[in-house]
Amino acid sequence: MTKINVTVDGVSYHDDVEPRTLLVHYLREQVGKVGTVVGCDTSNCGACTVDLDGLSVKSCTVLAVQADGSEVTTVEGLAGTDGLDPMQQAFHDNHALQCGFCTPGMIMAARDLLRHNPHPSEEEIREGIEGNLCRCTGYQNIVRAVQAAAGAAAGAAAGAGAAS
């Protein structure tokens, strides 16, 4: 067993883990963050996407011991006391989920895309989420949700600029 210290969604955890434990299994089984979905275990589907120190990663490709000393944000850590994260709200408002299996990873990947490209075109959105598979929606509503979240962020930034 190896001792790790990880901050997950703002809470510090100090746990013993087997060195071979994947981050996705640690998050689900030891921390209880079951919103991080185990999909394919081969990094093809993206359902397990989380932020690790501000970078989007597929948590089935990271060992828990590699996250020692790191900060992890899961889909469960996005909503605040004032409601859903803007991307979560955009997915809800634009019917960008059906079965919901891919949704946590898709939301995390889309947030990462907007961090790096706040005004993506439809093509850039499709390219930005290409590592996340959805079998239900046909992606059109997911693209609309990302566009809506980008628009909401731009509107909030414009409003903040006008207020200062």
Tell me if residue 13 falls in helix, strand or coil: strand
pLDDT digits (tens, 9 = 90+) for 50-76: 999 999 999 999 999 999 999 999 999
pLDDT digits (tens, 9 = 90+) for 79-105: 989 999 999 999 999 999 888 888 999
Asked if 95 and 34 sit in the same domain, the reply is no
pLDDT digits (tens, 9 = 90+) for 24-49: 999 999 999 999 999 887 888 999 99
pLDDT at 135: 85
Boundaries of domain holding 38: 2-77
For the chain, count helices (H), then strands (E).
Answer: 5, 5
pLDDT at 41: 73
- Provide the 10 A C-beta neighbour count for residue 144: 18
pTM of the model: 0.89
Residue 133 lies in a domain: yes
Task: Quickly state the pLDDT bin for 128 (edges 50, 70, 90).
Answer: very high
Asked if 106 and 133 sit in the same domain, the reply is yes
Q: What is the mean pLDDT of residues 133-157?
A: 85
Residue 7 lies in a domain: yes
Flag whether pLDDT at 141 surpasses 60.
Answer: yes
Asked if 64 and 112 sit in the same domain, the reply is no
Residue at 40: amino acid letter: C
Check: CB of residue 6 under 8 Å from CB of residue 67: yes
Asked if 127 and 151 sit in the same domain, the reply is yes
Determine what percent of the chain is predicted with pLDDT higher than 90. 77
Asked if 55 and 93 sit in the same domain, the reply is no
Query: How many domains in the chain?
Result: 2
Flag whether pLDDT at 159 surpasses 70.
Answer: no
